[in-house]
């Protein structure tokens, strides 16, 4: 039903797997891990322009917050007039709130598509979305653009001894399907890789939220709804990574970590660039013109005055005394 999402995602993952597999080996766990990481980087690069627009929209929303609060207070008893005035304010400043939601709306199906493609490498489970295949049938069935040999390579790949398609909470039957492909992994081996990734993902989620809320105005922060959302972003979402992490396969945790690291770097670079642009725009025109006054510590330049004095002395024969009046 969502093949228009699954096939492009699997194609990008296949490209990076073949690229790193040619260097590190087709069954190398790091080749598959790097393929997942660079899949994230590729998708985020394609979404860079909407992401920049989202950050600009968020910054603009914060700058307009005092005016929005004034309108809400002024027309508190007239919802219709309040909505009309808000739309007028947004049009005057070229503000479109839908642009702030666009990257999230695009990334959600991408994440779900990647989750489905990665889960489809091992379809032996009997839970939601699984097909209950036997290990032999699963290994012989292609996965979108991946061949059956690629599926077997994915099952064989290990990252520090753990299959990247396994999770801490994987069932015993699912873990048993790895027996012909590198042996049955232990929960301890999976946890040794998954837990550090969960911690990094949780911390990155928290610090990304801190960066996103840095420029928030005091009026916005004191708003009850905004304050509640800030707490969700700072504490609940990172905690959700730790709570849900044991149920996510290692490949998905790699996606989460690399996606958050990209977001962290992207926010710092874009915010720094926007701050520089705002400083240039806000600087008065007078500051761009050189001042006639000398800089501190520099001796005044009286060359023009000296030249005028010399000319005046030349006209009077060098005498500077005045003739007394009679």
| Residue 173's pLDDT band (cuts 50, 70, 90) | confident
Q: What is the pLDDT of residue 268?
A: 84
Phi/psi of residue 219, nearest 5 degrees: -65, -40
Q: Is the pLDDT of residue 198 over 90?
A: yes
> Each residue of 89-130: pLDDT tens digit?
877 776 666 665 666 677 788 888 888 898 889 888 766 666
Of 192 and 224, more confident: 192
Q: What is the pLDDT of residue 214?
A: 77
Q: CA-CA distance, 39 to 131, in Å (whole number)?
A: 26
Percent of the chain topping pLDDT 90: 36
Average per-residue pLDDT for the chain: 81
> Each residue of 248-290: pLDDT tens digit?
999 999 999 999 999 888 888 888 887 788 788 777 654 554 5
Average pLDDT of span 43-56: 82
DSSP state at residue 159: E
Of 146 and 52, more confident: 146
Q: What is the pLDDT of residue 323?
A: 46
What tokens does 312 get?
Answer: 């005046």
Percent of the chain topping pLDDT 70: 79
Q: What is the pLDDT of residue 102?
A: 63
Q: Angle at the Cα of 148 (from 118 to 135), degrees rounded to 5?
A: 75
Q: CA-CA distance, 88 to 102, in Å (whole number)?
A: 22
Q: 16 by DSSP, 3-state: which? A: helix
| Residue 217's pLDDT band (cuts 50, 70, 90) | low
Of 233 and 271, more confident: 233
Q: 158 by DSSP, 3-state: which? A: strand
Q: Which residues pair with 146 in a beta bridge?
A: 143
Q: What is the pLDDT of residue 169?
A: 92
Average pLDDT of span 70-82: 82
Q: What is the pLDDT of residue 194?
A: 96
Q: CA-CA distance, 55 to 61, in Å (whole number)?
A: 10
Q: CA-CA distance, 216 to 151, in Å (whole number)?
A: 47
Of 195 and 181, more confident: 195
Q: Angle at the Cα of 87 (from 81 to 91), degrees rounded to 5?
A: 145
Q: Angle at the Cα of 265 (from 223 to 162), degrees rounded to 5?
A: 105
Q: What is the pLDDT of residue 35?
A: 96
Q: Is the pLDDT of residue 244 over 90?
A: yes
Neighbouring C-alpha atoms within 13 Å toward the C-beta of 325: 0
CB atoms within 10 A of CB 68: 18
CA 166 to chain CA centroid, nearest Å: 26
Q: CA-CA distance, 147 to 116, in Å (whole number)?
A: 16
> Each residue of 141-167: pLDDT tens digit?
999 999 999 999 999 999 999 999 899
Least confident of 80-84, 181-185, 294-298: 294-298
Q: What is the pLDDT of residue 224?
A: 76
pTM metric for this prediction:
0.76
Average pLDDT of span 38-60: 83
């Amino acid at each position: 039903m969502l093949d228009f999402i699954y096939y492009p995602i699997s194609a990008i993952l296949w490209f990076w797997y073949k690229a790193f597999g040619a260097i590190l080996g087709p069954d190398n766990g790091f080749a598959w891990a790097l393929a997942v990481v660079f899949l994230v980087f590729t998708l985020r690069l394609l979404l860079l322009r909407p992401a920049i627009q989202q950050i600009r929209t968020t910054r603009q929303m914060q700058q307009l917050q005092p005016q929005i609060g004034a309108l809400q207070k002024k027309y508190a008893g007239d919802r219709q007039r309040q909505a009309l005035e808000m739309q007028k304010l947004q049009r005057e400043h070229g503000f479109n709130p839908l642009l702030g939601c666009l990257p999230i709306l695009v990334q959600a199906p991408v994440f779900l598509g990647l989750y489905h493609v990665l889960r489809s490498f091992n379809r032996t489970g009997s839970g939601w979305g699984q097909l209950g295949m036997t290990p032999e049938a699963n290994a012989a069935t292609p996965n979108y653009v991946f061949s059956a040999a690629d599926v077997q390579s994915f099952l064989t790949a290990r990252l520090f001894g753990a299959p990247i398609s396994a999770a801490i909470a994987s069932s015993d039957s699912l873990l048993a399907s790895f027996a012909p492909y590198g042996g049955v992994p232990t929960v301890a081996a999976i946890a040794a890789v998954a837990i550090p990734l969960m911690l990094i993902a949780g911390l990155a989620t928290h610090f990304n939220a801190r960066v996103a809320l840095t420029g928030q105005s005091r009026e916005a922060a004191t708003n009850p709804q905004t304050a509640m959302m800030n707490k969700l972003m700072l504490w609940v979402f990172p905690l959700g990574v730790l709570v849900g992490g044991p149920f996510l396969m290692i490949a998905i945790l790699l996606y989460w970590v690399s996606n958050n690291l990209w977001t962290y770097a992207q926010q710092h670079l874009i915010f720094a660039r926007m701050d520089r642009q705002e400083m240039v725009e806000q600087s008065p025109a007078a500051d761009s013109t050189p001042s006639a006054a000398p800089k501190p510590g520099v001796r005044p330049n009286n060359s023009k005055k000296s030249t005028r004095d010399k000319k005046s002395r030349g006209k009077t024969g060098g005498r500077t005394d005045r003739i007394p009046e009679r």
